[in-house]
Each structure stands twice: as structure tokens, then as C-alpha cells.
Chains A and B, each alone.
Chain A
Amino acid sequence: MGNIYETTMIVKPDLSNDQVKNLSTIIEGFFNDNNVVIGYKEDWGIKNLKFSINKYLKGSFKFIRFNADPSFPKKLDNFLKFNTDCLRFLIVKSDNILDEPTPQINKEN
């Protein structure tokens, strides 16, 4: 059923712990509302950006892989577009297995 998609988000690095928890609950809530189960989740930590995005030189990277119907990525795109804590995001169709770790997890900075 459906396809495997993955999304990578760059979140503002200067958020407090409560704000980060709040953001993750909002995103999980959005997935639950649309009956989509998150297959795999990763936190790549705070990385130096190669160029500034909205005057930020660092960004906190979050990665989510999920199995969903083809109509869901557009809804997610609309949802993340208006989220002020999310600097940038990319949603792509994935060729990987649902719970395969990414090469970025072992990488420092």
C-alpha cells in the first residue's frame, strides 16, 4: 500500500528544549491525523550550513521516512511551508527500505 517517502527538515538551531518537543509533537500529530505511521526517524544534530539560510549559519537536521498514499506529500508540503520553525525541507520518494539507517547518522558535524 502506498509508496515510501522521506523528508529532511532544517529546523532553527536556537530553539529551546520545550520548543523542540512542541514541534515534534505537532509534526507527529499531523501524521496521526492523516493516518500515516512514521516508519523511521533520525536526528542528525546541529550542523554547519554551507551557506546562510534566513541569516542562520547552523541548522538542526531532522529526518523522517514513512509509508503513505501519493496524496499525502502535498499535504505535508503545505503544512511545513507555513511552519516558522522549519527553515527548509525536502520531500522525496525513497528507494530505501523503511527502517534503513542513513549515512549521515555516523557523520560528525
Chain B
Amino acid sequence: MKKNLNISNDELLKIDYKNTQILKKFTNDNGKIIPQRVTNVSRTLHTKITNSIKQARFLSLV
């Protein structure tokens, strides 16, 4: 099942551990990272997303 994330390409370029509002779109209600097969983003982008979510978790931002 593919998920409609409502994210523009500009937002995808700005993915960073500080940009928590975009990162929240890639986590479910329990705070878990949504898998790549659901979000349907490329592998490079998904690695970037997971790394920045983990950095934001370390700083207690997400």
C-alpha cells in the first residue's frame, strides 16, 4: 500500500535533523520510521531520512 505524503520536491531537498516538521511525515503515530516500500522514495533519500530521524532522536527533537 503506497502512502500519499503530500510533500513537495523542495521540501525533500531540505531534509535535515533540524527540520522536524518534514521528518514527522516519515514517522507513524508511535514514532517509528515508515518503511521505504510504503513511502516509495528512492534508496538514497530514504537513507538520508532515516539518518536525520536518528540524529533528531538523539537530540530529543522528535
Contacts and interface: CB of A to CB of B under 8 A. Distances in A.
Contacts, number: 34
A102 B17 CA distance: 10
B59 interface: yes
Contact of A90 (B21, B58, B62): B58
B17 A88 contact: no
A92 B58 contact: no
A53 B60 contact: yes
A16 B28 CA distance: 39
Interface residues of B, number: 14
A2 interface: no
A82 interface: no
Main secondary structure of the interface of A (DSSP, over half): strand
Given A90-B55, A92-B55, A50 B21 contact: no
Interface string A79-101: 00000000010101001100000
Given A49-B60, A50-B61, A53-B60, A103 B55 contact: no
Given A90-B55, A92-B55, A50 B60 contact: yes
Interface size range on A against B = 10 to 19
A50 B62 contact: yes
Contact of B19 (A50, A53, A103): A103
Interface in B9-31: 14, 16-21
